Amino acid sequence: MLRLTGMDPDRLAEEKRRGLTIDLGFAWCALPSGREVGFVDVPGHERFIRNMLAGVGPVRLVLFVVAADEGWKPQSEEHLEIVDVLGVSGAVVAMTKRDMVDEATLEKRVREVRSKLAGTRLERAPIVPCSSVTGHGLDELRSALETMLAEAPPPETSGRPRQFIDRVFTIKGAGTVVTGTLTGGPLAVGEEAEVLPTGHRARIRGLQTHKRSLESAHPISRVAVNLAGTARAELARGDVLTLPGQWRPTSLFEARIRTVRGLAHPLTQKGDYKLYAGSAERDARLRIYGATEMTPGMEAYVRITLARPVVLDFKESFVLREAGRQETVAGGEVLDVDPPHVHGSDPVPRLRARAESGRGSLAWRLVEDRGAVRAVDVFALTGARASDAVAGGAIRIESWLLSPSVAQEVARRIADLLASYHAEHPLRLGLEVAEARVALSEHKSGLSDVALADALLSNLVQLGQVVREGTTIRLPSHVLTTIGRADADRLVALVAAAEPTPPTVKELRIMGFAADLMKATCAEGRLIQISPDILFTPGFVARAELLIRELAEPPGVTVSAFREAIGTSRKYALPILEYFDAKGLTRREGDMRLLGR
């Protein structure tokens, strides 16, 4: 590393003294093309494998080092298993200490390493013999790194930024600094950042990559972030630095895992495991779908429960080690960071479909799985945009995304509900919206959210499938009418015959007229309700209006004068005048009614 970059990544006094790496180290250099490359130097010794895992978690390009004099060692095997299960997008193997062995030994070592790589994702990695003492092979090593970088798939750069924190320290005068590998998207000075899983918020005061200060940092790179107003104790290795609301920590997820080829004991559901993802380490429990144990090299879908939440991405790679024996046992790929309850339905088809999805189509899968999802949740749970879900077939209704089948089912349910309501209550305008909400909340896929129910209903209104009037909804075909109904004709005739002192609403109820019937005749204009308890025919109200227009000229008319003129009692006269007041026809001044407002 020193020879390649001019920097010694071993920082600790103990590392210098013992001549080995204990914790993560960092170095960088420019390659012949001018391209800059950063290295996360990880410890080789098996005692420090946890630090090794924290370093390689977010990294997908590997410089794998094997010494020519010692050859393949047990830790080489474990490191290979780890980078193999994590998945690499490129690798170079450096065979160092080339100066320590003769040609024949070197060839033997190269063959040995080649055979160890067989069947792994490093299978086709170039093996470059080199020596830091003589400088032999270093040019070849640089050009192999250059080729690896050139051939690596372009990383995601315009998604959600995420920096897995691997070091936290304080700089006098500057405050707290966190370092890590930035992936997903950019971070900029001045932005408010969020630390997860704690939810701590802090402003980004400064950014550095390779000791250069930057206004914005871009993935994938090593970044040191200076956070304003944050105590060192609020941050730890394994935390994630991101932008507010874009990620959601999880302590329960589903994944596909594969056991390592050298697995000594079958993997069971009973064991205690450690999960390594990004720079995080967590205690984990395992549930294997469709099997009780796993043998070497076997694949399975699993559900993993963590003792503390961690921030995981879709298709994020992770490593599982057995806590007791301290062995790397499996690696995997995250498929669902927020899985549904497993009652009854088989999770495997859903997970298989997710495994075959890219990020964009995952957004649609989430909507399809759940039936209805908020757009902000789609982003936080998949990293994909609501528009990706819509492109897949989701229907956007206000801030929600729905699968068409759920939208159709809701429409059908409401239509059925209204049809039976109208049949049962032909004289009612429609169903109260509040009742429709309750009916929707009984839907299986959690449509109980009031905002969602309202969004669904207003969508049906927009589509013309439902008509909303006041607080009620009805089918467009439902026309409320009392025409042709004998009871309505009788009611109107009875009121007309008894004017100017018709029976009150209470009395009419006792006589057997339904409240709905009275409401409906009023809604149609066959009767006018002038007060809660009094109904008149429109003809009578028109006559009363003519009369008041004559009488209420200045200086106005008293209640009793009006009562006498219309030939009724005070019980009716007062409500009629109040009805006219409310309409703006008359106004009250002392004991007098006058025309106008």
Instruction: Choose between 21 and 568: whose C-beta lies nearer to Mg ion.
Output: 21
- Binding-site partner at residue 133 among Mg ion, ligand GTP, none, CB < 5 to 8 Å by type: ligand GTP
The token pair that represents 307 in the structure block: 């003792």
Of 97-105, 144-152, 313-321, 442-450: span binding ligand GTP (CB under 6 A): 97-105
Residue 535 backbone dihedrals phi, psi, to 5 degrees: -120, 140
Binding ligand GTP by CB under 6 A: which of 36, 46, 77, 99? 99
458 is a site residue for ligand GTP (CB under 6 A)? no
**What is the number of other CB atoms lying within 10 angstroms of the CB of residue 224?**
22
- Binding-site partner at residue 45 among ligand GTP, Mg ion, none, CB < 5 to 8 Å by type: ligand GTP
CB of 9 to ligand GTP, least distance (A): 8
Instruction: Choose between 51 and 259: whose C-beta lies nearer to ligand GTP.
Output: 51
What is the contact mask toward ligand GTP in residues 31 to 70, using x (rule: CB under 6 A)? ------------xxx-------------------x-----
- Binding-site partner at residue 414 among Mg ion, ligand GTP, none, CB < 5 to 8 Å by type: none
Q: Which of residues 128-147 bind ligand GTP (CB under 6 A)?
A: 131-133
**Cβ proximity of 227 and 204 under 8 Å:** yes
Give the nearest residue (CB) to Mg ion: 21
CB of 319 to ligand GTP, least distance (A): 18
Say how far apart CA 501 and CA 592 lie, in whole Å. Answer: 23
- Binding-site partner at residue 65 among ligand GTP, Mg ion, none, CB < 5 to 8 Å by type: ligand GTP
DSSP H helical segments within 298-373, as ranges?
347-355, 359-370
Q: Are strands 212-214 and 240-242 parallel, antiparallel or unpaired?
A: unpaired
CB of 96 to ligand GTP, least distance (A): 4
Contacts of 184 (CB under 8 A, 6+ apart): 156, 157, 159, 160, 161, 162, 219, 313, 383
- Binding-site partner at residue 83 among Mg ion, ligand GTP, none, CB < 5 to 8 Å by type: none
Say how far apart CA 128 and CA 141 lie, in whole Å. Answer: 6
- The residues with which 481 forms a beta bridge, in sequence order, are none
Instruction: Choose between 2 and 355: whose C-beta lies nearer to Mg ion.
Output: 2
The token pair that represents 171 in the structure block: 């700089």
Of 19-27, 432-440, 476-484, 533-541: span binding ligand GTP (CB under 6 A): 19-27
CB of 127 to ligand GTP, least distance (A): 15
Say how far apart CA 297 and CA 301 lie, in whole Å. Answer: 14
Binding ligand GTP by CB under 6 A: which of 7, 29, 31, 100? 100
Q: Helix, strand or coil for residue 163?
A: strand
Size of the site for ligand GTP (CB under 6 A): 14
CB of 23 to ligand GTP, least distance (A): 10
- Binding-site partner at residue 417 among ligand GTP, Mg ion, none, CB < 5 to 8 Å by type: none
By CB atoms closer than 10 A (0-12, 13-18, 19+), residue 331 is buried
Helix (H) or strand (E) holding 531: strand 528-531
CB of 357 to Mg ion, least distance (A): 39
Choose among 296, 235, 247, 245: nearest CA to 267: 296
- Number of helices (H), then strands (E), in the chain: 19, 32
**What is the number of other CB atoms lying within 10 angstroms of the CB of residue 204?**
20
Query: What is the number of alpha carbons within 13 Å of residue 570 lying toward its C-beta?
Result: 3
Residues near ligand GTP, by CB under 6 A: 19-21, 43-45, 65, 96-97, 99-100, 131-133
